[in-house]
Amino acid sequence: MGKGKTRDHLGRPVVAVTGMGVVTSLGQGIDDNWSALTSGKSGIHRITRFPVDHLRTTIAGTVDFLFDEVPRSAVLTEKLAELAAEEAIARARIGTPGDFPGMLFMAVPPVELDWSVKRELYEGGDTTTADPYDRMIDSAMTLNSADAYEYALYACVAEKTADRFGTRGAPISLSTACASGATAIQLGVEAIRRGDTDAALCIGTDGSVQAESLIRFSLLSALSTNNEDPATASRPFSKNRDGFVMAEGAGALVLEDYDAAVARGAEILAVIRGVGEQADDFHRTRSKPDGSPVIGAMRQALGDAGIGLDEINYINAHGTSTPENDKMEALSLEAVFGEHVKSIPISSNKSMIGHTLTAAGAIEAVFSIQTIRSGVIPPTINQDVADPSVTLDVVPNVAREAPVSMVLSNSFGFGGQNACLVIAASPA
C-alpha cells in the first residue's frame, strides 16, 4: 500500500492523474485537439494513404502528418504512443528523460505483417518455391533483418516504448479490442491501489488503418459509407447514423499515487475514482439484448467510485455511430440513471475524431479530464436528424460551457469487452 494517508471510500490509495497527452487526426497535443474539438471540427477525411479502389468506405481519421512515407502500422502505432507519452510525462514533470519511475500499461492493436512486408518477402524469395509462405520464409531467413523481425512480434511496440521511456518492470501489452485504452487505465489504477507502484504510464495507441483492416470492418458492416462528405459521416446517436469511422491516434496518462504526487509537488489534473468491468457472454460482436453486461459495468464503476447517480455531471460516451452500439448504450444509460439521464450532458468525441479503436478509451479519458478542467463540454457533431428512441442530451453540434466535476467514460469492444471509468476533479 502507498505510504500516504489519503484513502478512498474503501480504504484504498487514491489514484491521481498528473500528466496527459494526445494525438489524433485533429493534431498533436492537447491544445490543438481541444480547440478543434470545442469548435466542433472534424478530423475525418478522404483516405490518401492507400488507393481506395473497390472499397465501400473511403474515409477515415488517419494521422498523416507524422511521416513523409507511408509507415508500417506498428511503426506508426509506436510513434503515436511516443508523442502522447512525451507530452504526458512532460506535463507531469516526473522522473528524468529515459527514466520513468513506474510501470507501463500499453494498449496496442494486434500485430500483423503489413502487406508491404509480405510483398517484399515474397518478391525476394525463390521463384521456384511453390508454396507462397515457404517462399516468404526462405526469404525471411536470408533477409536476417532485426527491424523486420522485431516489428512482427506482438510485444514489440511496448518493448520499444519501455526502452525509450525507461519504465519499470515488465511492460504490459494488452488488447481488449475497442475497450483497450480504458483497460490500460484500469490496470494502472489497480496496480497503484495495490501499492505495486507509485506511478504508471498508461497508453492507448492505434495506427492501424490499412486496406485490410478497413475491409475487415467493412465485411462486418460496421463502417459508415457516408463517403461524400467525410466530416459529417460520424453521427453518434443520430437517426441517420450508419456505422463508425476508423481512425488513429494515441492517448497517454501518467497515473500516480495521490499522496506521492502531492508530496513531490505535482499538479493534480484529476482523480480516477472508479473502474468497472463486466464481460458479455452473448455474442462475439453484439451485446446481450437486455444490456445487462454494459449496465453492470457502469454500475460497478459507480460503486467502485462510491458515488451516487446524481454526482455524475457529464458522460463521455463510447458513442461509435453504429446503429447497434448507440442504441445499446442509450438503453443501458437509461437503465442505470433512470429519468435523471435526460439532465446529464453526454457527448461522443468520435463524432469528430472517429473511432480510434485500441486508443479510444485513453484518448477519451484525456478529453474527459480536459472537460473537467476547462468547464467546456465538446459537442456531438452531425446531429441533424434526431433519433426519437434516444432521449439523451447529446450536446448537439455546439460545445457547451458547464461546470463538470465527475465524468463517466464508457468503452465497449468486440469480444464482450465492457469497461467504464469514473474520473473526478478531486479525491472526494
Residue numbers 273-292 binding another protein by CB under 8 A: 277-285
**Which one of residues 32, 64, 86, 196 is an interface residue with another protein (CB under 8 A)?**
196
The set of cell numbers assigned to 160 is 520499444
Contact 57, 227 (CB under 8 A): yes
Q: Does 159 bind another protein (CB under 8 A)?
A: yes
Residue 339: HSE in the Cβ half-sphere, 13 Å Cα cutoff: 0
Q: Which one of the spans 72-80, 126-134, 236-244, 402-410 is the region binding another protein (CB under 8 A)?
A: 126-134
Range 45-104, binding another protein (CB under 8 A): 50-56
Nearest residue to 193 via CA among 53, 39, 9: 9
Contact 322, 245 (CB under 8 A): no
Largest CA distance in the chain: 71
Q: Site for another protein (CB under 8 A): how many residues?
A: 86
CB of 203 to another protein, least distance (A): 14
> Which of the following is catalytic: 156, 202, 355, 420?
355
Q: Which residues contact 13 (CB under 8 A, 6 or more apart)?
A: 1, 2, 4, 6, 7, 192, 193, 195, 257, 258, 259
Distance of CA 314 to the CA centre of its chain: 18
Residue with cell 500485430: 111
Contact 311, 403 (CB under 8 A): no
CB of 274 to another protein, least distance (A): 13
The set of cell numbers assigned to 92 is 507531469
**Which one of residues 19, 61, 171, 379 is an interface residue with another protein (CB under 8 A)?**
171
> Which of the following is catalytic: 9, 45, 54, 178?
178
Residue 54 a catalytic site member: no
Task: Provide the 8-state DSSP code for 70.
Answer: P
Cα–Cα distance measured from residue 415 to residue 204, given in angstroms and rounded to the nearest whole number: 18
**Which one of residues 164, 415, 425, 427 is an interface residue with another protein (CB under 8 A)?**
415
Residue closer to another protein by CB (options 198, 387) is 198
Cα–Cα distance measured from residue 171 to residue 174, given in angstroms and rounded to the nearest whole number: 10
CB of 45 to another protein, least distance (A): 19
CB of 39 to another protein, least distance (A): 35
The set of cell numbers assigned to 161 is 516504448
CB of 30 to another protein, least distance (A): 28
The set of cell numbers assigned to 188 is 494502472
Q: Which one of the spans 105-113, 306-314, 338-346, 395-403 is the region binding another protein (CB under 8 A)?
A: 105-113
Residue 355 a catalytic site member: yes
Site string (325-344) toward another protein, x via CB under 8 A:
--------------------
Which residues are part of the catalytic machinery?
Answer: 178, 318, 355
